[in-house]
Amino acid sequence: METRRWTNPTQPQTLQIAVFLFYISAVFSVLGFNLFSWALAIGEAASGFGIANEKKWGYWLGVAIASLGLLPGALYIFHNGVGSMFNILFLLSIMFPVALFALLLHPMSRDYQRIWFR
């Protein structure tokens, strides 16, 4: 019998933290009150759930969502110059997407998903 879980304590620490960050980010995205934010929240929650249940689609959806989260920061730097990336509000807004991206592409996470995810 297959079990469904919201978290998976048997996974490496990098993937566990990524799952928690996806859930937290989904809650903040729901507070955006527009259609794009709600679609993003659904994707974040689905990828967290997929990763917790060791599904390849969850991992790759998570990588895509984390990459999509980096796009506004890259556009901000492109339009305002490299010096603008030291703005404290910019740094706070880019913190979650950078952490998610780094956690998912960490070698420990990549090796685990390559071996164990179905």
Model pLDDT, residue 83: 87
Model pLDDT, residue 85: 86
- To the question of pTM greater than 0.85 for the whole model, the response is yes
Residue 2: inside a domain: no
Distance between CA atoms of residues 21 and 17, nearest Å: 6
**Number of domains comprising the chain:** 1
90-109 pLDDT, tens per residue?
A: 999 899 899 999 999 999 99
Residue 3: inside a domain: no
Residue 101: inside a domain: yes
pLDDT at 61 over 90: yes
Domain coverage including residue 93: 13-116
Model pLDDT, residue 1: 44
Residue 100: inside a domain: yes
CB-based contacts of 83, cutoff 8 Å, min separation 6: none
12-56 pLDDT, tens per residue?
A: 999 999 999 999 999 999 998 899 999 999 999 999 999 999 999
